[in-house]
């Protein structure tokens, strides 16, 4: 594995501090102030008091290119109901935000500026017409039991969605202001209760898929769930809440740790190929590779 200096920062959803925390991948002590390179909370944003009730248990965060304004933006979800698009690194305002309810667990920014959201308790995937302005809450909805993850596949122009029992490829039709969701391929999961869906860095034919009992790589071209990928013996365990890999090959994941604030959180971020990182007193749900890219050639 090459040196970690080429790897990206790592963003964590901390449900103790109610913040998004971004850490240097080369810092060994994530409890030290100097390891933290950026952080954000909805409380940092002026003029959004009506949304504060929807913030406090962040569930997912991703860095994306902003297709409308240029630059980069952060997309974030929270179990209390928030889904939002935030300018990055500014963070002082919302490009778009709404109390969508339903325990949102993941979101994805689409090429037209609309936002896809997966809500696990409500059991739906929605595409919000966020491209139409910061107050537009129009959406298309697809019922999808246990919806936990969404990811835009730019090569195939499909939105992958992960639920309790299936991985589905969704086609997005309609118009920017009146989106429509069409179900394409539907693949049954080999084990139930899908949880995390994330691209495999450097291989656009593979997706990380976690369920309550296993960690797979889904091979898109063959429709196969692989449990013989490199380092599978280390990674294939139960209750993995998030997973991703760095350009160096370093695999980053989170799983609940006993004694934490919540039964689904941890204060330890697992690194395969380097020492694990600890954030004393934190209640981290997911850790994300902090880049809008999926491979070195994009």
Q: Read off the pLDDT of residues 90-109 as tens digits, 9 standing for 90 and up.
A: 999 999 999 999 999 999 99
A 10 A CB-CB count for 192 gives: 14
pLDDT at res. 234: 87
- C-alpha dist (Å) from residue 36 to 30, 276, 283: 7, 16, 16
Q: Which domain, by its residues, includes 130?
A: 4-289
- With vertex at residue 50, the alpha carbon angle to CA 49 and CA 52, rounded to the nearest 5 degrees, is 65
Q: pLDDT band at residue 298, thresholds of 50, 70 and 90?
A: very low
pLDDT at 5 over 60: no
- pLDDT tens digits, residue range 50-67? 999 999 999 999 999 999
- pLDDT tens digits, residue range 143-168? 999 999 999 999 999 999 999 999 99
**Residue 205 lies inside a defined structural domain of this protein:** yes
Strands, E assignment, 131-205: 139-143, 149-153, 158-162, 166-174, 179-188, 194-199
pLDDT at res. 297: 47
A 10 A CB-CB count for 39 gives: 16
pLDDT at 186 over 50: yes
**Residue 278 lies inside a defined structural domain of this protein:** yes
SS3 19: strand
- pLDDT tens digits, residue range 203-216? 999 999 999 999 99
Distance CA 29, CA 92 (A): 28
**Residue 138 lies inside a defined structural domain of this protein:** yes
**Residue 45 lies inside a defined structural domain of this protein:** yes
CATH of the domain at 73: 2.130.10.10
**Residue 294 lies inside a defined structural domain of this protein:** no
**Residue 295 lies inside a defined structural domain of this protein:** no
pLDDT at 3 over 90: no
| Residue range 192-198: mean pLDDT, rounded | 99
Average pLDDT for the chain = 96
Percent of the chain with pLDDT over 70: 97
**Residue 297 lies inside a defined structural domain of this protein:** no
Q: How many domains does the chain have?
A: 1
Q: pLDDT band at residue 295, thresholds of 50, 70 and 90?
A: low
Question: Which residue matches tokens 């910061």?
Answer: 134
**Residue 296 lies inside a defined structural domain of this protein:** no
pLDDT at res. 257: 96
Question: Which residue matches tokens 């990055």?
Answer: 88
- pLDDT tens digits, residue range 224-279? 999 999 989 989 999 999 999 999 999 999 999 999 999 999 999 999 989 999 99
Q: pLDDT band at residue 1, thresholds of 50, 70 and 90?
A: very low
CB 60 within 8 A of CB 77: yes
**Do the strands 58-65 and 72-78 form a parallel or antiparallel pair, or are they unpaired?**
antiparallel
- pLDDT tens digits, residue range 215-231? 999 999 999 999 999 98
pLDDT at res. 273: 86
């Amino acid at each position: 594995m090459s040196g970690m200096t080429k790897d990206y920062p790592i963003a964590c959803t901390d449900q103790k501090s109610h913040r998004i925390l971004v850490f240097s991948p080369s810092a060994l002590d994530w409890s030290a102030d100097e390891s933290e390179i950026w952080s954000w909370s909805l409380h940092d944003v002026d003029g959004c008091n009506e949304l504060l009730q929807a913030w406090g248990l962040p569930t997912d965060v991703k860095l994306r290119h902003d297709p409308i304004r240029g630059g980069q933006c952060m997309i974030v979800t929270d179990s209390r109901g928030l889904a939002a698009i935030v300018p990055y690194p500014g963070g002082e305002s919302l490009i778009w935000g709404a109390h969508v309810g339903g325990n949102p667990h993941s979101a994805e920014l689409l090429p037209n500026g609309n936002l896809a959201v997966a809500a696990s308790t409500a059991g739906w995937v929605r595409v919000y017409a966020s491209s139409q302005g910061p107050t537009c809450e129009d959406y298309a909805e697809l019922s999808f039991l246990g919806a936990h993850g969404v990811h835009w596949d730019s090569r195939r122009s499909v939105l992958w969605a992960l639920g309790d029992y299936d991985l589905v490829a969704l086609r997005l039709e309609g118009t920017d202001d009146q989106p429509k969701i069409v179900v394409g391929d539907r693949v049954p999961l080999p084990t139930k209760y899908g949880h995390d869906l994330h691209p495999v860095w450097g291989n656009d034919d593979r997706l990380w898929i976690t369920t309550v009992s296993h960690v797979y790589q889904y091979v898109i071209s063959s429709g196969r769930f692989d449990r013989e990928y490199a380092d599978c013996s280390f990674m294939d365990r139960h209750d993995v809440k998030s997973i991703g890999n760095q350009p160096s090959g370093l695999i980053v994941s989170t799983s609940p740790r006993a004694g934490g604030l919540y039964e689904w959180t941890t204060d330890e971020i697992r690194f395969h190929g380097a020492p694990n990182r600890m954030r004393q007193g934190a209640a981290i749900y997911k850790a994300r590779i902090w880049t809008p890219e999926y491979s070195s050639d994009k």
